[in-house]
Amino acid sequence: KQEVTQIPAALSVPEGENLVLNCSFTDSAIYNLQWFRQDPGKGLTSLLLIQSSQREQTSGRLNASLDKSSGRSTLYIAASQPGDSATYLCATESYSNYQLIWGAGTKLIIKP
Amino acid sequence: NAGVTQTPKFRVLKTGQSMTLLCAQDMNHEYMYWYRQDPGMGLKLIYYSVGAGITDKGEVPNGYNVSRSTTEDFPLRLELAAPSQTSVYFCASSYDRATYEQYFGPGTRLTVT
């Protein structure tokens, strides 16, 4: 059974720093991996989707990488801003069903 | 486009009561999903649908029912609510699986006392 883990659960960094959020998963037979952002009291916004055949995806200051062999994905945020403060969740989708399996998220605080 | 809309935003139920959480999308997406999120946890899939008239169970379906009579609507029914169903419920939709992102509604915060 797939398990997705995100460490740390919370992270606080000064504005302007580059940072990396981690996501690990136990079953490498994934269809894709997605990174989402969740703001308090709001829904989730998809940030990046990496298909199993891809190694990375980029959107603006965000770069997500995928290493299926080691069961890891990272989300790199460049030049962090206070507006990046949110909870970031990763989720994997397996070949066998339509279910996204989610990590518990990393709560990110960017200090001005 | 309104995207994915959910009603109500908040609800308090007593144990044993029933209710329906509404979800609608105006993007003509075939795939729709219901998730629940407990505090400090990731999301868990309750039910999903791959098109009108087609639904299937997710990871945690017990105590819930769904229907999909139209492409736009995907209501979630709670029968005999229990305190364990206290959670935030999210509806989502996507054009297709895997290669297309899921779009989420703002959520319904449900408390069962």
Compute the average pLDDT of residues A28-55. Answer: 90
Could you give the strand order of the β-sheet that contains B19-25, starting from the edge strand earlier in sequence?
A: B4-7, B19-25, B76-78, B64-66
Q: Rounded distance, CA A72 to CA A88, Å? A: 15
Q: What percent of chain B has pLDDT over 90?
A: 85
Q: Is the pLDDT of residue A92 over 90?
A: yes
The residue among A35 and B40 whose pLDDT is bigger is A35
Q: Rounded distance, CA B70 to CA B82, Å? A: 29
Minimal Cβ distance to B41: which of A91, A93, A104: A104
User: Which residue carries 């609510």 as its tokens?
Assistant: B81
Report yes or no: B89 at the A interface, CB cutoff 8 Å: no
Scanning B14-53 for CB atoms below 8 A from A yields: 31, 33, 40-45, 48, 50
Amino acid at A1: K
Q: Rounded distance, CA B11 to CA B109, Å? A: 6
Structure tokens at B17: 């009561």
Q: What is the predicted pLDDT for the residue at A71?
A: 96
Compute the average pLDDT of residues A54-61. Answer: 96
Q: What is the predicted pLDDT for the residue at B99?
A: 60
pLDDT band at A98 (very low <50, low <70, confident <90, very high): low
Tell me the per-residue pLDDT of B3-42, one tens digit each, with 9 for 90 and over.
Answer: 999 999 999 999 999 999 999 999 999 999 999 999 888 8
Distance from CA of B80 to the nearest CA of A (A): 26
- Using CA coordinates, name the residue in chain B closest to A2: B59
- Using CA coordinates, name the residue in chain B closest to A50: B99
Q: Rounded distance, CA B88 to CA B37, Å? A: 5
Q: What is the predicted pLDDT for the residue at A112?
A: 93
Q: Is the pLDDT of residue A17 over 60?
A: yes
Q: How much is the mean pLDDT over chain B?
A: 93
Q: Is the pLDDT of residue B98 over 60?
A: no
Give A-chain residues touching B4 at CB under 8 angstroms: 43
CB contact under 8 A, B104 and A51: no
